């Protein structure tokens, strides 16, 4: 048994029993047990570098550290290990860039696709009336400090999507639901209780959804685009060469802002899109969504198992050395 002490809460991860009991107990059955006593721990687990450095500085004699992070900003190092103080202890890494957290383009989406039903495609008499965009996203100071350089490229999307939202707001082309926006811009805080049902209530009144990720990186595809499609909103998403989105979506499906890079041109595309083009694009998105709905349960179970087994293998590697 490997006893793990969590330096961070690690909410919404396999190490959070309240978020995913199946994942938590799978890891436990494989010999990984969470302990609240650091003196009995074999391994120390963090979700970001700052808290890890603080912990190490207060506990310099402890060993066996792992950062596990599915957020591109929380861990930006691309190697399997590093030395935060240029001396021991060594810290091992599992993050977006090491390639052993997001293993495919639908990692962490298994519950959505297993529990939902196929979406009926739009018919040709679909009433395409409302061209206003919905955006459910926090402001984060408009991305003022959100720059994130990876491989020499800024992969941040917070600043870009904030600029789009502000432009469309001034043009009366968007309704924003989110936390931290300047007074008078947001209709309500998007961090509401019953988030999924409230989001569904909101999106049912729209045909377009600005649903960028926080960052753009291969395999980093969260629930945002899928929730847009399941509520029959055409996603305004950021794909392009730094994403892997076209491994699963065809061209001319969602509106790819990486091909536009101009909010005024985006407004023109929305304003002038024909009903036929809208239906064709959204039906392509629905077809992708349904292709994953129709995957056998075994596909999702194997995908989940592969991700969890990598955690087990890494923990065993760290503690056996």
For the chain, 321 residues long, give each residue's pLDDT as a single digit of tens.
999 999 999 999 999 999 889 999 999 999 999 999 999 999 999 999 999 999 999 998 999 999 999 999 999 999 999 999 887 789 999 999 999 999 999 999 999 999 999 999 999 999 999 999 999 999 999 999 999 999 999 999 999 999 999 999 999 999 999 999 999 999 987 566 667 788 999 999 999 999 999 999 999 999 999 999 999 999 999 999 999 999 999 999 999 999 999 999 999 999 999 999 999 999 999 999 999 999 999 999 999 999 999 999 999 999 997
pLDDT at 191: 62
Pick from 240, 71, 58: which is nearest to 146 by CA? 71
pLDDT at 197: 80
CATH domain 119-293 topology: Rossmann fold (3.40.50)
Q: Dihedral angle at the C-alpha atoms of 136, 247, 256, 156, nearest 10 degrees?
A: 60
Q: How far is it, in rounded angstroms, from Cα 244 to Cα 238?
A: 11
Q: 284: how many CB neighbours lie within 10 A of its CB?
A: 19
Tokens read off for 21: 């009991």
In the chain, alpha helices (H): 21-29, 49-58, 110-115, 158-170, 195-203, 223-230, 263-272, 275-293, 297-320
Q: How far is it, in rounded angstroms, from Cα 262 to Cα 270?
A: 13
Q: How far is it, in rounded angstroms, from Cα 171 to Cα 267?
A: 9
Contacts (Cβ under 8 Å, ≥6 apart) of 271: 131
CATH domain 2-101+299-320 topology: Rossmann fold (3.40.50)
Q: Are 22 and 59 in contact (CB under 8 A)?
A: no
Pick from 83, 73, 78: which is nearest to 94 by CA? 78
Q: How far is it, in rounded angstroms, from Cα 205 to Cα 219?
A: 30
Cα 91–Cα 95–Cα 100 angle in degrees, nearest 5: 105
Strands (E), 194-250: 208-210, 234-237
Q: In CATH terms, are 2-101+299-320 and 119-293 the same topology? A: yes
pLDDT at 190: 59
Question: For the chain, what are the domain ranges?
Answer: 2-101+299-320, 119-293
Q: What is the DSSP string of 144-190?
A: TT---EETTEE-B-HHHHHHHHHHHHHTT-EEEE-SSPPTTTEEE-S
The backbone torsions φ and ψ at residue 6, rounded to the nearest 5 degrees and listed phi first, read -85, 115
In 78-157, alpha helices (H): 110-115
Q: How far is it, in rounded angstroms, from Cα 321 to Cα 316?
A: 9
């Amino acid at each position: 048994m490997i006893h793990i002490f969590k330096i961070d809460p690690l909410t919404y991860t396999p190490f959070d029993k309240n978020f995913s009991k199946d994942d938590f107990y799978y890891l436990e059955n494989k010999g990984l047990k969470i302990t609240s006593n650091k003196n009995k721990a074999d391994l120390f687990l963090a979700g970001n570098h700052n808290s890890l450095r603080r912990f190490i500085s207060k506990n310099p004699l402890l060993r066996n550290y792992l950062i596990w992070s599915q957020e591109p900003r929380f861990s930006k190092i691309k190697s399997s290990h590093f030395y935060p103080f240029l001396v021991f202890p060594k810290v091992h890494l599992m993050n977006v860039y090491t390639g052993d957290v997001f293993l495919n383009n639908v990692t962490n989406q298994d519950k959505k696709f297993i529990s939902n039903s196929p979406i009926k495609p739009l018919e040709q008499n679909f009433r395409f009336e409302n061209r206003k965009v919905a955006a459910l996203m926090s402001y984060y100071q408009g991305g003022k400090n959100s720059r994130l350089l990876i491989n020499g490229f800024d992969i941040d999307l917070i600043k870009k999507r904030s600029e789009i939202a502000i432009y469309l707001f001034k043009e009366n082309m968007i309704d924003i639901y989110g936390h931290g926006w300047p007074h008078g811009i947001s209709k309500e805080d998007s961090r509401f209780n019953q988030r999924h049902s409230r989001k569904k209530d909101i999106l049912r009144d729209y045909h377009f959804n600005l649903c960028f990720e926080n960052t753009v990186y291969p395999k980093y595809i969260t629930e945002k685009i899928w929730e847009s499609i399941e509520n029959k909103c055409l996603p305004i998403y950021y794909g392009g060469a730094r994403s892997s989105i076209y491994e699963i979506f065809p061209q001319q499906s969602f509106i790819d802002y990486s091909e536009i890079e101009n909010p005024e041109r985006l407004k023109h595309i929305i304003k002038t899109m024909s009903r036929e083009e809208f239906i064709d694009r959204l039906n392509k998105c629905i077809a992708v969504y349904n292709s994953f709905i129709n995957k056998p349960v075994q596909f999702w179970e194997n995908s989940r198992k592969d991700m969890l087994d990598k955690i087990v293998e890494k923990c065993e590697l760290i503690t056996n050395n």
